[in-house]
Amino acid sequence: MNQINIQYYKTKYAEFILGSFKNKLCLLDFKYRKMRTTVDNRLKTGFKAEFVEQDDEILKDTRKQLDEYFNMERKVFDIPIITIGTDFQKCVWKALLKVPYGTTSTYLQLAKDIDNEKAVRAVASANGANSIAFIIPCHRIIGSNGNLTGYGGGLALKKRLIKLEQNLFTI
């Protein structure tokens, strides 16, 4: 049986669960999100692996880069990642990677970016299934009317992250 190394990491923003598989980050998510079991089971099934609480270099580097991000010292992550999802989800996540730091986009624009304008709800669902927060920046996606919409870490955190990236406050 393969293993996914996991570690829990608490910051002043939230508590996270981090996971690596074969020297790539596969999990950077909120410890207490509603979809926790769904996301974890998708990873375990997809990699045919079990979670083992064990640290490694990828997880150490992820914690370091997260700290830099939260301290406004990092805008781009350079950690190797691996995702498990449908082809559609992977397409959406790839499009999310193109949304620049300090900007936002909408679910509709993301659907247009993948040449599937009618798939707005499916895009939103794929966005919510993202298991690598911050690096695949699902927090940068807002409603077409400018309102903040669902986020695994909660809307208050989503608002805080958007402000952080737009340097609207200092920590």
- Out of 14, 84, 99, 138, pick the active-site residue: 138
Judge contact between 81 and 25, C-beta under 8 A: yes
User: Is the C-alpha dihedral spanning 163, 165, 167, 171 positive or negative?
Assistant: positive
Range 100-135 burial, b when 16+ CB lie within 10 A, else e: eeeebbbbbbbbbbbeeeebbebbbebbbbbbbbbb
Judge contact between 127 and 142, C-beta under 8 A: no
* Residue 93 in tokens: 């996540």
Return phi, psi of residue 36, to 5°: -50, -55
26 is an active site residue: no
Residues belonging to the active site: 138
